[in-house]
Amino acid sequence: MRLILPEGSFKAYLFDCDGTIADSMPLHYRAWKQALEEWNCEFDEELFYAWGGMPVAEIIATLNHRHGLSMPVEAVAHRKEKLYFQLLPELKPVPDVLEHIEAKPRGIPFAVVSGSTRESVTASLVSLNLLDRFDAMVCAGDYEKSKPDPEAFLLAAARLGVAPEDCLVFEDTEMGIQAAQAAGMASVKVPPPWERA
């Protein structure tokens, strides 16, 4: 399976990280399951994928609200990240996206735009030997409103000094695609793991 890019000449590529550059969603789900089981909190896999791109703290707060729980957001987030870091040796890149990163067109800056923490994104990219390919990173904590709001993508474009309409976004989630559209950017949808096999 190859990714079909939209027509046009783009001046910057913006990549989501989890599920787009890194085939990390199954590993993140395992970490979530283990962290939440310690609080007897259910987190359905379908819901996990539907919430792709939502920051960790927001997921925990939303689960607290849904299940009438009072999990300590910071402690659970820290535990979940720690469990994910333990799984990093298993991490692989998404092949079709890796192809585009490795064939980086000359003079086109790359940015990572993620709902994950900077620590998590950096750890994933270091594990894949890809950290040095990116000119900018926009992660949870850098912006106020998460995807589907366009703020994170607009911030990345500004950091690269490229107009939003000249950016191409690589995204695996519906929320991410909506955020790209709201930012006035072209996008390419990366299929989920079960469609790539």
Residue-wise DSSP of 140-189: TTS-SS-TTSSHHHHHHHHHHT--GGGEEEEESSHHHHHHHHHTT-EEEE
Picking from 101, 86, 74, 80, the residue whose alpha carbon sits closest to that of residue 17 is 101
Is 149 noted as a catalytic residue in this protein? Answer: no
R_g over Cα of the chain: 16
Rounded distance between C-alpha atoms, residue 41 and residue 132, angstroms: 38
Rounded distance between C-alpha atoms, residue 137 and residue 120, angstroms: 12
Residue-wise DSSP of 63-108: HHHHHT----HHHHHHHHHHHHHHHGGG--B-HHHHHHHHT--TT-
Query: In terms of C-beta density within 10 A (0-12 exposed, 13-18 middle, 19 or more buried), how is residue 12 classed?
Result: buried
Rounded distance between C-alpha atoms, residue 91 and residue 11, angstroms: 29
Catalytic residue among 16, 18, 23, 172: 16
Q: Which residues are catalytic?
A: 16
